[in-house]
Amino acid sequence: MTPNRNTVTQDIQPRDTHVEEGQRSPGHVHPPHLYSPYTSSVKRAPHELLIPLPGPMRDFGGPVFGTDRIRPDDHDTTVNARVNGEPIGERIIVRGKLLDSAGRPIRGALIETWQANAAGRYIHKRDQHAAPLDPNFTGTARMLTDENGEYLLTSIRPGAYPWGNHVNAWRPSHIHFSVFGRGFTERLVSQMYFPGDPLMEYDPIFLGIPDKKGRERLVSRFDLSITQPEWALGYRFDIVVGGDQTTPMEENHG
């Protein structure tokens, strides 16, 4: 069924009136806690002032991962869950750098990713989308940045999926990225989208980022130099923590 373009865009068009007063993020880059077109945020966002926790309650050590803790194939979802064959779908390679606010590489940082399979389904009991699971694919990976702050992810391009936020709502293809700092409480979560995906203009999670340039930082770039001939397409996705070029990160909805 062809979506009603006028109806859908009217429902989720990113206007300032959709962002409740006092909920917009500093710098208008990160998405707000409360963005009414994203209906789950209305239920999960705090409606009262937050209570700061004392330092000792939030300062937990770790993660401390040496190179022996990360298996050689942990970064490759086409291999790390293989049971009796290869996962189904379009193979992709994603490379990028993790940078601080001054553009300096962040070395030895733990990055975790998770995603739907090629049919648009997660291996999770709450995902009841009528799409097949892939017995050779979990969609999870982890990796450490190298001395240049670079990471490498090999995976399957995730499919779009319906998510019930509004009428005929579909999430664009995306990969979740989690970046850990010096402790488990220092964690940033973002999403990577693919260039040219028409569903981005209908997605309230993507459109919930107030700044257009901020949204553009979540869209990977096709990079022919990263492709592996006759095997996988390549994309580049850099992650910047802080500063004017910061990558938009998800707010904690509790």
Told to judge if 122 belongs to the known catalytic residues of this protein, a careful annotator would answer yes
> Strand, helix or coil at 234?
strand
Of these residues, 161, 193, 202, 235, which one is catalytic? 161
Told to judge if 253 belongs to the known catalytic residues of this protein, a careful annotator would answer no
Does a cis peptide bond (omega within 30 degrees of 0) precede residue 63? yes
Of these residues, 176, 187, 236, 253, which one is catalytic? 176
Strands 221-222 and 233-236: what pairing?
Answer: antiparallel
Q: What count of other Cβ atoms lies within 10 Å of the Cβ of residue 139? A: 23
Q: Are 108 and 182 in contact (CB under 8 A)?
A: no
Strands 91-99 and 233-236: what pairing?
Answer: parallel
Of these residues, 35, 122, 151, 193, which one is catalytic? 122
Of these residues, 75, 174, 215, 217, which one is catalytic? 174
Told to judge if 182 belongs to the known catalytic residues of this protein, a careful annotator would answer no
Of these residues, 30, 171, 215, 217, which one is catalytic? 171
In 140-205 the beta strands, taken as DSSP E runs, fall at 140-144, 150-156, 161-162, 170-171, 174-180, 187-193
Catalytic residues: 122, 161, 171, 174, 176
